[in-house]
A and B are shown apart, each in its own frame.
Chain A
Amino acid sequence: MDLTEAVERISHKMESKGKKVERSKIESKMRLLVEDFGVNMAEAERTVMNDLAKEYSVNLAGAQNADRKEIGALMPGEWVTIEGKCVALIAPPSPAISQTGILADTTGAIRFVVWARAEKPPMEQGRWYRIESAVVDEYRGAPKLNIHSGTTISPVDQDIPIIPSMHRVAELRPGVASVRVKMIQEWEPSHPRMLQTGLVGDASGIVKFTIWNEEGKEKLQPDTVYSIYYALVDEYAGRLQLNLSSALYLPEEGDIQVWSGEKIVGALVHIAPGSGLVKRCPVEGCNRVLSRQNYCSVHEIQKNFRYDLRIKGVLDDSERACNVLFPCELVESLTGIRLEEAIELAEGSPLGMDEVFFRLRDAMLGRYFSCTGTEIEDRTILKDCQWLAYEPKELAALLNRAGGA
């Protein structure tokens, strides 16, 4: 625990009771106990809180209910009492649910579900509620607060400002999260009810997002930075995605760095069959590689195929053998062999497309590359790749390391 955080909490609690206490005063009381008397942080916080409550004649009884939990600390399987602000309402996915949304306090946020059979009056967005005897469980890896017939909901007349803590994309877990990200890619919606889907990212990682078609929902603008508050983080097939149905998202000025993919520096130790010049099925949305007889495993013989150039290989840094794919643009820029030239080579050689394979192999196999890319199903699709250059500076450093014993 951190002393500054404890001071902050005490100050908040006093403020919520209408008393403004100097932070320096709280801090010096805390320091006295913690530093001079060696009291543990939790006990010190409790003592200072009680001292101040007496000094300012504040009644803490209501707020310090023994079994009231902080939302950030809820665990599946618990019966809990919380106080939280209803920060989002989401259209219920089923008639069995009368209301669903997100409750937040200063420590975190959680998805809640009010079951129709509970027959509770609806909550209003933006108001605080005290929820007694609700049950926390887990749905697809995310904690969820269930409000059933035995739960009591009572409005609380307060408005403590909540500043949601921002999560790094790489550290997202199923549940509710707030992120500051840039929209980097927009995809074709895969469902008529989908307003928009694509990728957002920050410096730590990228993640898929989806906005469903609901009243008042707006699309994200490409290359724009957004603060997204209270998005649902869903897990599907081992992957996380952000569902913005519940979220408030605001465009921001300026720009942020976005994670550019995995970096691999290593030697190309294998070039797999199926590399080089390939023919692809022209049927819209298919794009499968055809056999030598122009046969597509789904659309059979396709005479109007289109050519593509690629290398499927293995980059090896001596610790990991990484399956990679060099797409056409990279093969062209690394080897100087352009797609049109590769087609000419193949058509003019008795070896046909093998001629291109051999040329690429002789140019690239056994060489070192420095690349970045994105891993998709055990293969890293390279986005950027350069021949690795010899660094004389490294020689000096290694000589020191070897001679330094």
Chain B
Amino acid sequence: MPAVERDSGQASPSFEREAAKRVFAAELREVRVQFKEGEDRKSPGFILFPTGERANRIFIVGTLTEKERRGEQNLYYQARVADPTGTFYIMAGSYQPDAMQQMAMIEPPSFVAVIGKPTLFEGQSGATRVSVRAESISVVDAETRNIWILDTARSTLKRIESFGNTEDSKRAREQYNTDLQIYRKMVYDALAQMKI
């Protein structure tokens, strides 16, 4: 930004969109902490990554391996998207009409990019599961998938390297007692399988 545009001190009244964080499936699967920032009913909800960063929205690219239409009155799609480390569980319901219509047109297997909000669910067995409510899902190519792996590796390494120095990572250390070595290896393995 050019510094000639000086901060006039007036906060923009328009709301600021939350950035989409990059995370591998193997890390997202371990998420157990969900919280809200602020008291308001409309204040954004966040999950906390074990490597120490909050996320209200995530961006993932992987292979759509399975999709299933569910529900009678309230139609929704459930889908599985795989990355080199594991599987993301994607949902697209009538509250996300764009994503639902896009989902209807995509046939597995294909590379897809998903933008969505991660949420924690408690299953009937009492086990927690993280699923992603898709805001949009679109077909992409292998190159986009490769760029995403590098992008996500970079983001994850950055979190690992600054672990203990940020508010969110201090919180993650308390809540998860994170073993960084596991996540470093996850990143290494994800990158290593690309090397052909």
Contacts and interface: CB of A to CB of B under 8 A. Distances in A.
Q: Is A bound to B?
A: yes
Interface of A: 169-172, 204-207, 235, 237-240, 259, 262, 267, 269-270, 314, 316-321, 323, 361-362, 365-368, 374-375, 378, 388-391, 394-395, 398-399, 401-403, 405
A374 B5 CA distance: 11
A368 to B, nearest CB: 5
A317 B154 CA distance: 11
Given A205-B3, A318-B59, A367-B140, A237 B8 contact: yes
Interface stretch (B125-133, B145-153, B166-174): B145-153
22 contacts: A169-B2, A172-B3, A206-B4, A207-B4, A238-B5, A239-B4, A240-B6, A259-B2, A267-B151, A269-B136, A321-B19, A366-B113, A367-B140, A367-B144, A375-B2, A378-B12, A390-B147, A398-B157, A398-B187, A401-B157, A402-B157, A405-B181
B60 to A, nearest CB: 10
Contacts of B194: 395
A367 B148 CA distance: 9
Nearest to A259: B2
A378 B14 contact: yes
Nearest to A321: B17
A353 to B, nearest CB: 17
Contacts of B18: 321
Interface residues of B, number: 50
Contacts of A320: 19
Interface of B: 1-8, 10, 12, 14, 16-22, 57, 59, 61, 112-115, 135-140, 143-144, 146-148, 150-151, 153-155, 157, 181, 184, 187-188, 191-192, 194-195
Nearest to B150: A394
Contacts of B114: 366
Of the listed residues A238, A320, A390, A391, the one surrounded by the most CB atoms of chain B closer than 10 A to its CB is: A390
Contacts of A365: 113, 136, 138
A208 to B, nearest CB: 8
Contacts of A368: 144, 147-148, 151
